[in-house]
Amino acid sequence: MDRASRRKYQMFGRVLHFGVGNRDVFPETSAAGKLFSQLAAHIAAIEAFLVRRDQARGEARKLNRDTRNAVRHSMRAIAATGRRAAKDESAPHAFRMPARGASEVTLTAARRLREEAERRKDRFIELGMPETFIADHDAVVAELAEAVAVQQDSRSARHQFDETIDKAFDEGMAVLADLDVTVSNALRPDRVRLAAWVGARRLDRSHDVADVPAADPSPSSQPADPDPTVKVAS
């Protein structure tokens, strides 16, 4: 979530908090009360999609890291054995481990080592590799290939989540535009509550935090006497 979105999210929470704390003026059945409920639904949707997006990212990273390590372990065994298996060959040996890089690079190198080992399979077995070492290597390489596909799918899913989150923010801002009018009309005779509304509705640009707290709808005290004439950011 970028800074602008964090500010909106935090402002949504303050506005919802204001609505809950002033239910005597804005009961749930009132026009403003229904708008506050709509805003609460948008906040819940944003939170849910943020969680799902982060879960998709975490699962893809974990699966990719674990399976990549398994492939590199198999590759190291093949490369070490291959250097001995090819020691009498005149051509430069092909059993060099690649530098660590993207999973796609690891996959390509793993398949190349597999082809070289297949050509010298009998010698590998003579040097102590299990007879199933080719099949075992193929299995972990297949897992990594699947993990790469999962990661690519995760990127697509995260992109869709981002679009959904942006839409929820846009819809939330549209609800706030209606609340600006409805709340201001209801509180015009009450300068103290109107000032509190302006304070809750303002986008705070004074600081940004790394972690976005969940919106807290429980009532709390409002600023004592903010200036109700301050123009609200939108």
Q: DSSP letters of 109-120?
A: HHHHHHHHHHHT
Is residue 33 over pLDDT 60?
Answer: yes
- Are 134 and 110 in contact by the 8 Å Cβ rule? The answer is no
Q: What is the pTM of this model?
A: 0.52
What confidence score (pLDDT) does residue 122 get? 95
Is residue 59 over pLDDT 90?
Answer: no
Measured distance CA(109)–CA(95) in Å, rounded: 10
CB atoms within 10 A of CB 24: 6
Measured distance CA(123)–CA(128) in Å, rounded: 9
- The CA distances from residue 50 to 103, 107, 150, in Å, are 26, 31, 19
Amino acid letter, residue 74: S
Name which residue leads in pLDDT, 61 or 31. Answer: 31
Measured distance CA(108)–CA(95) in Å, rounded: 13
Name which residue leads in pLDDT, 195 or 206. Answer: 195
What confidence score (pLDDT) does residue 159 get? 78
Measured distance CA(58)–CA(65) in Å, rounded: 11
What confidence score (pLDDT) does residue 213 get? 41
Summarised one tens digit per residue, pLDDT across range 208-228 is 444 444 444 444 334 334 444
Measured distance CA(214)–CA(216) in Å, rounded: 6
Residue spans per domain, the chain: 3-201
Q: How many CA atoms within 13 Å lie on the side-chain side of 76?
A: 8
What confidence score (pLDDT) does residue 185 get? 92
Mean pLDDT computed over 26-45 = 93
What confidence score (pLDDT) does residue 60 get? 64
What confidence score (pLDDT) does residue 100 get? 78
What confidence score (pLDDT) does residue 54 get? 79
What confidence score (pLDDT) does residue 207 get? 45
Q: pLDDT band at 64, cuts 50/70/90? A: low
Summarised one tens digit per residue, pLDDT across range 77-131 is 999 999 999 988 877 778 989 887 778 889 999 999 999 999 999 999 999 999 9
Is residue 141 over pLDDT 50?
Answer: yes
